[in-house]
Amino acid sequence: MSFIENLKSKIAISSYKPKIVFAEGWDKNIHEAAQQLKETKEIVPFLIFRTRSEVYEDIIDNYIVIDEMDLDKYANVLFELRKAKGLTIDQAKSLVKQPNYLASLMVKMGEADGEICGIQYTTKDTLKPALQILKTAPGAKLVSSAFVMQKDKEQYIFGDCAININPNSEQLADIALGIGKFAKDVVGLTNLKIALLSYSTAGSGAGESVDKVRGAHDILMTLPEAKQFQISPEIQFDASFVPEVMHKKAKNLNWDTNAKIYVFPNIDAGNIGYKIAQRMGGYEAIGPVLIGLAAPVNDLSRGASTSDVVNLAYITGYQALTQRNK
């Protein structure tokens, strides 16, 4: 059973069906995905449109049109949340007319269990209102992202490929923990080996980037919550992926299989890495899934297909169920 099929089966047996709001309801792929989700009856899709002219003739049951709504209740909530930061009520009334802000407010106010955005908005414009309105989860120090890379029976987790540009050692340690927990709790991986990627393996290289990765490893070794994972010191991709290479380059790393979770040292490496795996390696890249927010908000690539939207909806829905059941 694939990762997504496993999530679908878990949602299917739940008595509660998560309601997911799509900020960009006018997009063709969002519309097609919503139709598919409606048919399965496992996720309740809710679409936001800016104007009546954007609404499809065969629209699903749940949708709103912004320019036909009284948005005062949303503006008042946003104003209360942000007035200490200098937001005025007039600015709040303007912001809630933007679908990315309205979607996050619907989640905040309990009108939706999770949000999907980003097929037309940038990652920045997806994340900014989510952070301002929903904020980070208790205990989370930052928001990061993960991709589930899947091909046939192979499955790997890559991160952070979308959010943190050049994390320091402390941030890199937090990213590794967040991605590891996502791999365990949502993806259901049992092989919890985490590779801290670098251009150096076990001291073969030197430089600021290598020192940063080594620092992240040192921090992780002091954290009780990291003990549920097997975490490499700084390691090159080939040494973390091919056991024969690993045993030559990282002789102190006694793993009998390769890593399943890959933490990149910066966004350049992560973004390039997942796209090479996707386009040249033939892996399906599901995500980016945002980790560390107080409620599920996930970001689509602007090149996302209908299938990508459906897959991310099931991830978002399952995240919402797990939070609801805590």
- Summarize pLDDT for 107-134 with one digit per residue, the tens: 999 999 999 999 999 989 999 999 999 9
C-alpha distances out from residue 32 to 21, 82, 111, 284, Å: 14, 35, 22, 19
Which residues on neighbouring strands pair with residue 231, listed in sequence order?
A: 194
Which residues on neighbouring strands pair with residue 285, listed in sequence order?
A: 149
Secondary structure tally for the chain: helices H, strands E = 12, 11
Reply yes or no on whether the pLDDT at 1 is more than 60. Answer: no
Please state, rounded to an integer, the average pLDDT across all residues of the chain.
Answer: 93
- Summarize pLDDT for 271-292 with one digit per residue, the tens: 999 999 999 999 988 888 999 9
In the numeric block, which tokens belong to residue 317? 């829905």
For tokens 């409606």, the residue is 38
Burial track 216-229 (b if 16+ CB lie within 10 A, e otherwise) = bbebbeeeeebeeb
- Summarize pLDDT for 247-273 with one digit per residue, the tens: 889 888 889 899 999 999 999 999 999
Residue 25: what pLDDT?
Answer: 96
Reply yes or no on whether the pLDDT at 225 is more than 80. Answer: yes
**How distant is the alpha carbon of residue 214 from its chain centre?**
25
Residue 267: what pLDDT?
Answer: 96
Neighbours of 93 (CB within 10 A): 16
- Summarize pLDDT for 32-74 with one digit per residue, the tens: 999 999 998 899 999 999 999 999 988 878 999 999 999 999 9
Residue 312: what pLDDT?
Answer: 93
Residue 205: what pLDDT?
Answer: 81
Which residues on neighbouring strands pair with residue 284, listed in sequence order?
A: 150
Q: Which of 42, 24, 209, 45 is nearest to 117 (CA)?
A: 24
